[in-house]
Amino acid sequence: MSTGAAGASATESGDSNGALLTVDHLKLYFPVKSGVVFRHEIARVHAVDDVTLRLRTGQTLGLVGESGCGKTTLARCLVRLLDPTDGSITFEGRDITHASTREMRPLRSEMQIVFQDPYASLNPRKRVGQIIGTPMALHGTPKDEIPKRVRELLARVGLSPEHINRFPHEFSGGQRQRVGIARALALNPRLIVLDEPVSALDVSIQAQIVNLLDDLQDDLGLTYLFVAHDLGVVRHISDSIAVMYLGKVMELAPADDLYSKPIHPYTSALLGAIPIPDPELNRRRARTPLEGEPPSAIDPPAGCRFHPRCPHATDVCRTVEPPLMWYADGHSAACHHPQNVTPGEIAEATRSEMSPLSAGSSNGSAEAPASGPAEAPASGAADGAATESAE
C-alpha cells in the first residue's frame, strides 16, 4: 500500500514506545449557547477532560464507559472528526492536533472508522460497490481496478463478491456491518476506530463480527480502538482497556487484569452490574447495584468525579482529584481508595505521566508529592486521609 502522506514516516511504527497514535491531555468541551439574536456561551459540556492514551501498533485498546462518558467523542476527536479544545494528538510521530483539512486528507486513508448503527451508516441509495469503491476513487485508485478490489474486500469480510451490485436494504444487520468494515478497509488503513461496532447486532452475529475483526487484525496488522459499553465483548478483543467516566480515564489496564483485579470502584461496579448467564452463580452472587446515574458533564463534581456514587468515598475524594497511579504490570487507576491491591503495591505505585494535569498529589505513597503542576487545593490533607484509609 502507498502511504501517500507527505511526511508520514511509514518506516517505524510511530514514536519511540511503539505507539501508533498518542493522545496527550486531550480536552474537548462543547459550548452550551443561549440567546436568540446574540448567541453567547453560558456553559460548557466537559465531554473529554484531560485524557492521555497510547494506541500501540497492532494492538487493540478497548474504551468502555456508560453512555455520556465521552467515549464516542474521544474516538471521533482522535481521528479529527471533532476538533479538540486543548491537548495534542500525535499520529505516527506527527502532531495532527491542528492539521488542516488539506493536511489531514492523505492521513485519512490511514485512519478509518466503523460506526455503531449499520442501518444509518450506509447510504441507502448507493450500491455496495459504490459504498466501498468511493473512498478508493477519492484517493486515486485507478477506476478500472476498483471493482476487482471491491470484490476482494467483500470476500475478505465474509460476503459474496456477487453482492457488489446490491443495495444496503438487501442485507441483514450483521451483513451491513461487514460492508461497513469493508469500506473501512478499502484504503488499507493502519488504524481503525470501531465505535460500538457490534452493539446493534444479535449475540450470535456479534460473535461472528468480533471473530472477523480478530482475523483482520492478525492478517493486516491493524491497530484498533474499540469503543463499547459491553464489557464482555471488549475483554475478548482488547489487549488493554481504558475505563472512562464523565470525561476522565478512571482505570487503564491489560485486558485480563482489569477483570481479575479491578482497582477502581467504578470498574468493580461496572463488572458487578453485568448479569452472569448462569442462574446458580447469579443467585449466589451478592450484588450491590450502583445507585444513581452519572451527573451532568456541564458541572461535573469536584474532586473525584465518581465520588457521589462511590461506596468508598471520603472527604479527600470530594476535594482532590486523584491522579492516575501506576501500579505494577501496567495497571493504572485514578482512585484515592484503590481496591484489590496490597499496601505494599500501593506504596510502590507511582504517579503516572498520564495523570490529568489538574489532579492532586498521589495517594498512598508519600514519595511522590505533587510531581506535576498540581493545583490541588488541599494536597497535604489528601495524603493524610488517603494513607489512613488505604485499605
Partner 1 sequence: MSSTRPLLSVKDLSVSFATEDGTVRAVDGVSYTLAPREILAIVGESGSGKSVTVMSLMGLTRGVNARFGGSAVFGSTDLLTATEEQLERVRGNDIAMIFQDPMTSLDPVYKIGDQIVEQIRAHENVSKAVARDRTIALLDEVGIPRARERVDSYPHELSGGMRQRVMIAMALSCNPSILIADEPTTALDVTIQAQILERIKQLRDATDTAVIIVTHDLGVVADIADRIVVMYAGRIVEQGTVDEIFYDPQHPYTWGLLGSITRLDRERPRRLPSIPGAPPSLLDPPKGCHFRPRCPHEFAKCTDVPPLEAHIGEAPGHLDRCWLSTEEKRVRREVGDGQIGLARPQEAPA
Question: Which residues form the interface with partner 1 (CB under 8 A)?
Answer: 66-67, 155, 158, 172-175, 202-208, 210-212, 214, 229-233, 235-236, 255-256, 259, 269-282, 287, 289-293
Q: How far is CA 320 from CA 54, 165, 323, 324, in A?
A: 25, 59, 9, 12
- Residue 285 CB, nearest distance to partner 1 (Å)? 9
Q: Work out how close the CB of 164 gets to partner 1 at its nearest, in angstroms, rounded to a whole number.
A: 16
Query: Is-contact 48 246, C-beta < 8 A?
Result: no
**Which CB sits closer to partner 1, 144 or 293?**
293
The number of CA neighbours under 13 Å toward the Cβ of 200 is 19
Q: Is the CB of 13 or the CB of 268 nearer to partner 1?
A: 268
Tell me how far, at minimum, the Cβ of 358 lies from partner 1, in Å: 26
Please, what is the minimum distance in Å from the beta carbon of residue 262 to partner 1? 11
What is the CB neighbour count within 10 angstroms for residue 199? 14
Cβ closest to partner 1, residue 102 vs residue 169: 169
Distance (Å, whole) CA 57 – CA 34: 43
Kindly tell me which of 18 and 272 has the beta carbon lying closer to partner 1. 272
Is beta strand 248-254 parallel, antiparallel or unpaired with respect to 40-56? unpaired
Which CB, 143 or 283, lies closer to partner 1?
Answer: 283
- Supply φ then ψ for residue 130, to 5 degrees: -70, -40
Find the shortest distance in angstroms from Cβ 66 to partner 1. 4
Which residue's CB is nearer to partner 1, number 102 or number 287?
Answer: 287
- Min CB(266)–partner 1 separation in Å: 9
Q: Is there a contact between 85 and 27 (Cβ–Cβ < 8 Å)? A: yes
Q: In whole angstroms, what is the distance from residue 238 CA to residue 259 CA?
A: 12
Measured from the CB atom, the residue of 83 and 291 that comes closer to partner 1 is 291
Q: How far is the CB of 263 from partner 1 (least distance, A)?
A: 17
Kindly state the smallest distance separating residue 209's Cβ from partner 1, in Å. Answer: 8
Residue among 24 and 230 whose Cβ is closer to partner 1:
230
CA 285 to chain centre: 30
The whole-angstrom separation of Cα 161 and Cα 144 is: 16
d(CA 244, CA 156): 33
Minimum distance, C-beta of residue 62 to partner 1, in the bound complex (Å): 12
Q: How many whole angstroms separate alpha carbon 247 and alpha carbon 49?
A: 5
Cβ closer to partner 1: 17 or 67?
A: 67
